[in-house]
């Protein structure tokens, strides 16, 4: 066996073992599988995980083209690296497994920056902001979280909405979990649930289907989104942070952000508790 074949075998062996190590993130002291910018360039493409059904972040249009803020971010980063871009469309629940198993090089996938996630993945500096809300029709009375016990509530499984609704709803509240944002929205439209945990883009999407029907009832938390790489991968994390600094400074992020978010570019924090932006 040649040295190059041995190296390839070793990389694949470490990659397969990654899923076992992920069961206990605290024991991981080195990256399971490292992808540096130079390795990506030698391969000749960057593989980015993105959502395919969550406008305006990431979705596929009627012509089959990937669209959204995360798509624009991905395209700009691929251009920065000087390589073609390959998308892997992911659901909320399989974003982190796709990254940590090596299926993708990085995520631009509506990844809210949360301390518990920072134990499993490395976040970049933030590039977007969002607010987690409770959404229902105007005729549904929800003034406090205590009111949720009166209704059947839907959430996207494994999302921040799932966490916030589960944490804030009274014991005994009926919570139904769906595999993504689109099925959750459809559940509310079809009457399977009476309210849903959502974000600032749920109401516009719902009111496209049933105009002037839905509104935000509660606000749970404001969040920031970052790109994600694997723990310990310093070079790709540094490359992403330099890229985000660059498009903030040259106005490119301010140009694309309102196109998708319908809001001007927000101010971003220099740090977030328990969420490092720089790989150690």
Write down the pTM of the prediction.
0.78
Q: What is the pLDDT of residues 240-278, one digit of tens each?
A: 999 999 999 999 999 999 999 988 899 999 999 999 999
CA distance 177 to 196: 10
Q: Which CATH architecture has domain 131-222?
A: 3-Layer(aba) Sandwich (3.40)
Nearest 10 degrees: CA dihedral of 240, 246, 249, 255? -80
Going from N- to C-terminal start, the domains of the chain cover 12-130+225-261, 131-222
Q: Which residues pair with 175 in a beta bridge?
A: 153
What pLDDT does 33 receive? Answer: 56
> Which of 125, 118, 128, 127 has the alpha carbon at shortest distance from 232?
118
What are 90-105's pLDDT values in tens digits?
999 999 999 999 999 9
pLDDT in tens, the chain (280 residues): 444 444 443 444 444 444 333 333 333 334 345 589 999 999 999 999 999 999 999 999 999 999 999 999 999 999 999 999 999 999 999 999 999 999 999 999 999 999 999 999 999 999 999 999 999 999 999 999 999 999 999 999 999 999 999 999 999 999 999 999 999 999 999 999 999 999 988 999 999 999 999 999 999 999 999 999 999 999 999 999 999 999 999 999 999 999 999 888 999 999 999 999 999 9
CA-to-CA distance for 217 and 278, rounded, in angstroms? Answer: 36
pLDDT value of position 34:
59
| CATH (one of 3.10.20.70, 3.10.129.10, 3.40.190.10, 3.40.50.1820) for 12-130+225-261 | 3.40.190.10
Domains 12-130+225-261 and 131-222 share a fold: yes
């Amino acid at each position: 066996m040649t040295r190059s074949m041995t190296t390839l075998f070793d990389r694949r062996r470490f990659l397969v073992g990654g899923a076992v190590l992920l069961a206990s993130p605290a024991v991981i002291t080195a990256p399971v599988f490292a992808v540096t910018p130079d390795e990506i360039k030698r391969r000749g493409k960057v593989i980015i995980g993105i959502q395919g059904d969550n406008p305006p972040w990431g979705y596929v249009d009627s012509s089959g083209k990937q669209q959204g803020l995360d798509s624009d971010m991905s395209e700009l980063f691929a251009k920065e690296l000087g390589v073609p871009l390959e998308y892997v469309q992911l659901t909320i629940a399989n974003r982190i497994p796709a990254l940590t198993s090596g299926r993708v090089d990085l995520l631009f996938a509506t990844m809210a920056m949360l301390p518990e996630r920072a134990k499993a993945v490395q976040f970049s500096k933030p590039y977007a902001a969002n607010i987690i809300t409770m959404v229902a029709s105007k005729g549904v009375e929800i003034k406090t979280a205590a009111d949720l016990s009166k209704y059947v509530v839907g959430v996207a499984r494994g999302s921040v909405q799932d966490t916030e609704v589960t944490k804030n709803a009274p014991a005994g509240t009926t919570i139904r979990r769906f595999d993504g944002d689109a099925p959750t929205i459809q559940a509310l439209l079809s009457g399977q649930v009476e309210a849903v945990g959502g974000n600032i883009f749920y109401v516009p999407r719902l009111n496209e289907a049933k105009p002037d029907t839905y509104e935000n009832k509660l606000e749970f938390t404001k969040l920031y989104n970052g790109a994600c790489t694997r723990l310990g991968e310093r070079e790709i994390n540094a490359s992403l942070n330099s890229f985000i600094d660059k498009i903030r400074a040259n106005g490119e992020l301010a140009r694309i952000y309102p196109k998708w978010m319908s809001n001007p570019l927000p101010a971003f924090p220099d740090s977030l508790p328990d969420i490092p932006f720089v790989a150690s």
